[in-house]
């Protein structure tokens, strides 16, 4: 196995994480997959912001861990989950950093959802 390089966020590749007071609800196939008042928004460089939902606010009976992994030099190794009730569209719909690098340690034990692989990610006012 090759050694992965780690990079530190900085001016050339900023990463910020902020707590949200809004309620976030993720739905698929008429089911609430996640419902949280305690989410984080990660903003990374020029990418779209990503909402991270605490694992404890996700209905784990509706998700299934896959064998897929990816690597980000700024965050570490991501693991993936599918939502079986969504069929092929919802395969690897969720990613999580179980042991993120120190610079983004707040996202540990949080799930992020690909918007195109679920029916909705609603952000409601606090």
Specify the DSSP class assigned to residue 51.
E
Strand 110-113 relative to strand 64-72: parallel, antiparallel, unpaired? unpaired
- pTM here is 0.94
Q: 33-77 pLDDT, tens per residue?
A: 999 999 999 999 999 999 999 999 999 999 999 999 999 999 999
Domains assigned to the chain: 15-124 (2.170.150.40)
Give the Cα separation of 110 and 46 in Å (integer). 22
Are 50 and 75 a contacting pair, CB within 8 Å?
no
Residue 2: per-residue pLDDT: 55
């Amino acid at each position: 196995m090759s050694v992965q390089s780690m990079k530190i966020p900085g001016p050339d590749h900023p990463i910020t994480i902020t707590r949200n007071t809004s309620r976030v609800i993720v739905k698929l196939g008429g089911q609430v997959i996640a419902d949280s008042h305690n989410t984080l928004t990660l903003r990374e460089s020029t990418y779209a912001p990503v909402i991270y939902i605490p694992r404890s606010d996700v209905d784990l009976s509706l998700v299934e861990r896959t064998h897929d992994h990816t690597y980000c030099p700024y965050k570490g190794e991501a693991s993936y989950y599918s939502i079986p009730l969504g069929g092929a569209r919802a395969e690897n719909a969720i990613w999580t950093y179980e042991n993120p690098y120190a610079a983004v340690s707040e996202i540990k034990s949080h799930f992020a959802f690909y918007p195109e692989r679920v029916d909705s990610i609603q952000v409601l006012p606090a």
